[in-house]
Amino acid sequence: MPQDTLTHLRDRLRAFAAERDWDQFHNPKNLAMALSGEAGELLEHFQWLTFEEAAALAPEARGEVALEAADVLLYLVRLCDKCGIDLAAAADAKLAINAERYPVEKSRGQNTKYDRL
């Protein structure tokens, strides 16, 4: 049975850091900074685009965005590992909170109260 992607990445990142003696740099504070920096790089790909352009990236741009998205995921997984956070469980918990916060009948087609996913 294949391993879950998040668990697989967590384990590969642990090994990657251990081999390079990088645990000393992977304090959660630093990792939160690196995560935010990568989110900013991803953002920059979209900053001058129209909605139409953003929804139809050319293959080269999509490939660049994919690698930025990967950077965000890798730092996120590593941050959660160093904080003792189960990321998959947290995502499930947040989805449950969102379902309660945004009832279907009140949220349909509204972006006004919609300040979180």
Site for its own copies in 46-65 (CB under 8 A): 46-49, 51, 54-55, 57, 62, 65
- Residue pointed to by tokens 């630093």: 30
Binding its own copies (rule: CB under 8 A), the pick from 14, 69, 100, 101 is: 69
DSSP 103: -
Query: Is residue 97 involved in binding its own copies (CB under 8 A)?
Result: yes
Do residues 10 and 77 make contact, with C-beta atoms less than 8 angstroms apart? yes
Binding its own copies (rule: CB under 8 A), the pick from 58, 60, 84, 100 is: 84
User: Per CB under 8 A, which of residues 6..35 are in contact with its own copies?
Assistant: 6, 9, 12-13, 16, 19-22, 24-25, 27-30, 32-35
Cα Rg, the chain, nearest whole Å:
17
Nearest to 71 by CA among 3, 2, 13, 7: 13
